[in-house]
Chains A and B, each alone.
Chain A
Amino acid sequence: MTDSATELRPAVSVDAVMADLQGRVRERLRADLLRHGASPSFADAQLFADVERVLHAGVDSGTSNALLLPELLGDPATWRLETALHLDSHRASAAAAVVTFVKRRLVLPVVRWLFEYNRDNFERQRRVNAVLFACVQELAIETAKLRQEVVPPK
Chain B
Amino acid sequence: MKLACVVQRYGADIAGGSEAHCRALAERLAGSHAVTVLTSCARDYVTWANAHPAGETVENGVRVVRFPVRRQRHLGHFSDLSDEVFDGPTARERQQAWFAENGPDVPDLLAHLRTHATAYDLVLFWTFRYSPSFFGLPIVADRAVLLPTAEEDRALDLGILEGFFNTPAGYIFLTPEEAALVEARAGGRLRPATTIGMGLDASPASPGSQQALAALGVPPRYVLYLGRVDRNKGCHTLLEYFEEYVAAGGDTTLVLAGPAKIRIPAHPRIRTLGYVPDEARDALISGAQALVVPSPYESLSIVLLEAWNRGVPALVNAQCAVLKGQVRRANGGLHYRSQREFSEGLDFLLRHRAERDQLGLQGLAYVEREYRWPTVLRRVEALLDEVMTARRAREQAEASSTG
Contacts and interface: CB of A to CB of B under 8 A. Distances in A.
Interface in B161-185: 175-176
Interface string B368-403: 011000000000000000000000000000000000
B195 A14 contact: no
B355 interface: yes
> Which of the listed residues A1, A11, A13, A18 has the most CB atoms from chain B within 10 Å of its own CB?
A1
Classify the interface of chain B: helix, strand, loop or mixed.
helix
Q: What band does the interface of chain B fall in when counting residues whose beta carbon is under 8 Å from A?
A: 20 to 34
Interface in A19-51: 21-22, 24-25, 28-29
Given A11-B362, A29-B340, A84-B84, A17 B152 contact: no
A21 B176 contact: no
Given A1-B197, A4-B328, A17-B348, A11 B358 contact: yes
A2 B331 contact: no
B157 interface: yes
A93 interface: no
B324 to A, nearest CB: 10
Nearest to A63: B152
A142 interface: no
A15 B334 CA distance: 9
A128 B226 CA distance: 30
Given A80-B88, A84-B84, A12 B359 contact: yes
B66 interface: no
Interface in B290-337: 327-335
A-B residue pairs, 5 tightest by C-beta: A84-B83, A84-B87, A10-B331, A12-B358, A25-B340
A83 B329 CA distance: 38
B345 A119 contact: no
A2 B370 contact: yes
B355 A17 contact: yes
Nearest to A21: B344
Nearest to A9: B331
23 contacts: A1-B195, A1-B329, A2-B369, A3-B329, A11-B358, A12-B355, A12-B358, A13-B331, A14-B328, A14-B331, A14-B333, A14-B335, A15-B328, A18-B335, A24-B344, A25-B341, A63-B152, A65-B157, A83-B87, A85-B80, A86-B84, A109-B76, A119-B83
A116 B328 CA distance: 37
Contacts of B359: 12, 14
Q: What band does the interface of chain A fall in when counting residues whose beta carbon is under 8 Å from B?
A: 20 to 34
B118 interface: no
A152 interface: no
B91 to A, nearest CB: 14
A14 B334 contact: yes
A135 B331 CA distance: 31
A14 B327 contact: yes
Nearest to A87: B80
B203 interface: no
Given A1-B370, A15-B328, A21 B197 contact: no
B338 interface: yes
A28 B80 CA distance: 45
Contact of A21 (B152, B329, B345): B345
Given A1-B195, A4-B329, A65-B157, A10 B362 contact: yes
Interface in A80-97: 80, 82-86
Given A2-B369, A84-B87, A17 B329 contact: no
A109 B195 CA distance: 44
A74 interface: no
B20 to A, nearest CB: 20
A153 interface: no
B330 A4 contact: yes
Contacts of B335: 14, 18
Interface in B108-149: none
Nearest to A59: B337
Given A4-B331, A119-B83, 5 more contacts: A12-B355, A21-B334, A25-B338, A84-B84, A85-B83
A1 B348 CA distance: 29
Contacts of A80: 88
Contact of B348 (A13, A21, A76): A21
Contact of A12 (B83, B175, B331): B331
B140 to A, nearest CB: 27
Contacts of A12: 331, 355, 358-359, 362
A4 B359 CA distance: 14
Nearest to B338: A25
Interface string B171-208: 00001100000000000000000010100000000000
A18 B176 contact: no
Contacts of A4: 328-331
A2 B371 CA distance: 11
B294 to A, nearest CB: 17
A46 B195 CA distance: 40
Interface in B332-370: 332-335, 338, 340-341, 344-345, 348, 355, 358-359, 362, 369-370
Nearest to A24: B344
